Amino acid sequence: MSTDEEAGAIGRHRLGSLQHTQGERTVLEIEGRTIGAEQFAVIAGPCTVESREQTLETAHAVRDAGGALFRGGAYKPRTSPYDFHGLGPEGLRLLAEARLETGLPIVTELLDLRDLDQVREVADVIQIGARNMQNYALLEEVGRAGVPVLLKRGLSSTLDELLLAAEYILKEGNDAVMLCERGIRTFEPSYRFTLDLMAVPVLKERSHLPVIVDPSHAAGRRDLVLPLSLAAAAAGADGIIVEVHPRPEEAICDGPQSLRTSELAGFVERVHAAAAVAGKSIREPAVV
């Protein structure tokens, strides 16, 4: 087998932006928070923005626990067309308020090109979800928008496909992209998805982009989020993105996998310790 074949399909593509020499890694600076380099970032927040009270309570808990960025969906991709699809513009307004109150930069998902202008007004990082990883028009547009992007791996996508999806953003001149392993479909039905932690070192070997892990959507169960987060940190991830809710039993979306705000500080402390073992340091977030 030649080196190109071993490297997979991506080795046979003409790559521009993803080619790098060792030591030239992309580091994202987002409102004073660093994704990449020696930093480890915890991104946390609810699956979906539900109300002002839930959003602000969660955002304060994330900041107090040492979270780096606040996540929350105003536009939600749902398997059933009859499920809750997010508060839309009102959700974006609540995220802006959370940002103002806590100083935490906002990560929120863009589902539809028609919402780009509204979303970019609030988002410090635009999330492209697993189901849109191969929506190439959307990728090119967020590439042109010049906003940092959190790109999730598709449910059944190979690493080559993820890297080439990232290339759609990079080729438009936007290299502020972090890749996110969030679990893939396998034959194993015991958990929601199978978290592919081998993707962490392999993606870092094959691109210069920071790599984060989403244990919440992979597991589908709260009790698995800590062990998977520790493993992700130990594997050298540049951060994690986790779901958290003040009252997960009442959550509209993804309650069973959401950490409780009351347990977040202890959780973050343990994950930071694992990240330190992997050589990462934790910079204190700026307090506002």
CB of 160 to ligand PEP, least distance (A): 19
CB of 129 or CB of 248, closer to ligand PEP: 129
Residues binding ligand PEP: number (CB under 6 A): 10
Structure tokens at 55: 């959003």
Q: In the window 111-130, what residues touch ligand PEP (CB under 6 A)? A: 129-130
Q: In the window 175-234, what residues touch ligand PEP (CB under 6 A)? A: 182, 214, 217
The option from ligand PEP, Mn ion, none interacting with 73 (CB < 5 to 8 A, set by class) reads: ligand PEP
Q: In the window 186-225, what residues touch Mn ion (CB under 5 A)? A: none
CB of 196 or CB of 254, closer to Mn ion: 254
Q: In the window 163-182, what residues touch ligand PEP (CB under 6 A)? A: 182
Cα 16 from Cα 166, distance rounded (Å):
12
Tell me which of 36, 66, 67, 73 binds ligand PEP, using CB under 6 A: 73
The answer to the question of residue 254 lying near Mn ion (CB under 5 A) is yes
CB of 17 or CB of 133, closer to ligand PEP: 133
Tell me which of 152, 208, 245, 280 binds ligand PEP, using CB under 6 A: 152
The option from ligand PEP, Mn ion, none interacting with 77 (CB < 5 to 8 A, set by class) reads: ligand PEP
CB of 250 to ligand PEP, least distance (A): 17
Position 136, amino acid: Y
Q: In the window 17-56, what residues touch Mn ion (CB under 5 A)? A: 47
CA 196 to chain centre: 15
DSSP bridge pairs for 81: none
For the chain, the DSSP string reads: --HHHHH-GGGGS--STT---TT----EEETTEEESTTB-EEEEE-SB---HHHHHHHHHHHHHTT-SEEE-BSS---SSTTS----THHHHHHHHHHHHHH---EEEE---GGGHHHHHHH-SEEEE-GGGTT-HHHHHHHHHHT--EEEEPPTT--HHHHHHHHHHHHTTT---EEEEE--B--S--SSSSB--TTHHHHHHHH-SS-EEE-HHHHH-SGGGHHHHHHHHHHTT-SEEEEEEESSGGG-SS-GGGPEEHHHHHHHHHHHHHHHHHTT-B-PPPPP-
Minimal CB distance to Mn ion: which residue?
47
The answer to the question of residue 77 lying near ligand PEP (CB under 6 A) is yes
CB of 74 to ligand PEP, least distance (A): 11
Which residues bind to Mn ion, rule: CB under 5 A? 47, 254
Which residues bind to ligand PEP, rule: CB under 6 A? 47, 73, 77, 129-131, 152, 182, 214, 217
